A and B are shown apart, each in its own frame.
Chain A
Amino acid sequence: MSSVNYGSKRIVTGAGYGFRDWLAQRVTAVLMALFTVIVLAQVIFTSGPIGYDQWAGIFAAQWMKVLTFCVILAMLMHVWVGIRDIWMDYIKPVGVRLGLHMASIVWLVGCAGWAIQVLWRL
């Protein structure tokens, strides 16, 4: 057996090395960054207060609704990975951690459902 057990030489056994989460974190980030640039550009280069028509106009097009929908789902995944990292770093008792994981999932799924509901009825 090689003495080097990291990087490409690492002997991978079992499952759950976190690569999928790591990758999901980045893929969802790219999508949200794209969304951010699109919205930011339309908000920042305006003069005067933004009225309802102008604000709702940003989300009026069908492609923007689809993008926003995807961003909500991406955010759900992204925040789950991030918040789970925080709990794993600071919360050591397994029972408390499990409770916080469950609470986070409920919190996030609830928020995502609400956001999609808002988007759907536009």
Chain B
Amino acid sequence: MTELARKRPEFRNINALTDLPSYRLPAAGWVSILHRVSGALMFVLMPFIIWMFDNSITSEFSYAQFTALFSVGFGFVPGWMMKLVVLALLWAYLHHFIAGIRHLYMDANHAVSKEFGKSSAGMTLALSIGLTIVLGAKLFGLY
């Protein structure tokens, strides 16, 4: 084996604690991992989402209980914190939605150039955060 071949570094297992903090992901990498993170978050909080759907839509009485969650809170959790959880869910949904449309568009058009990957990833991140801000303004009663 030559000197050069022996010195080639090998990366096999990525250690979450020592390797990940120094990783610098490109925009498309961020969209990809956030797609997974947002999906997992919605999976874990799914009963809470259905609870909200249930109470918000069943009757006017249950609707009042639903809105009280965000004004009075639940148990020791204050209302504003419930709003932050919902804000996180809003972001998760919107990011997953827009990143998913990017996937579908790429599949349909075979648009897999490096440039398109980069620009569409940037657009996905910006649009999902932008829409989260708009719906967050609705959530916090700004419009």
Contacts and interface: CB of A to CB of B under 8 A. Distances in A.
B85 interface: no
Interface string A104-122: 1001100100110010011
Given A26-B107, A55-B63, A79-B39, A118 B58 contact: yes
A82 B32 CA distance: 13
Q: For chain A, which range describes its interface: under 10, 10 to 19, 20 to 34, or 35 or more residues?
A: 20 to 34
A115 B135 contact: no
A4 interface: no
B134 A82 contact: no
5 contacts: A26-B104, A44-B134, A104-B43, A107-B43, A115-B50
Contacts of B50: 111, 114-115, 118
Nearest to A22: B107
Secondary structure of the B side of the interface? helix
Interface in A80-122: 82-83, 86, 104, 107-108, 111, 114-115, 118, 121-122
Nearest to B40: A86
Contacts of B100: 29, 33
Contacts of A79: 39, 42-43, 46
A7 interface: no
Contacts of B54: 114, 118
Given A44-B135, A82-B39, A118-B53, A111 B97 contact: no
Nearest to A51: B63
Nearest to B58: A118
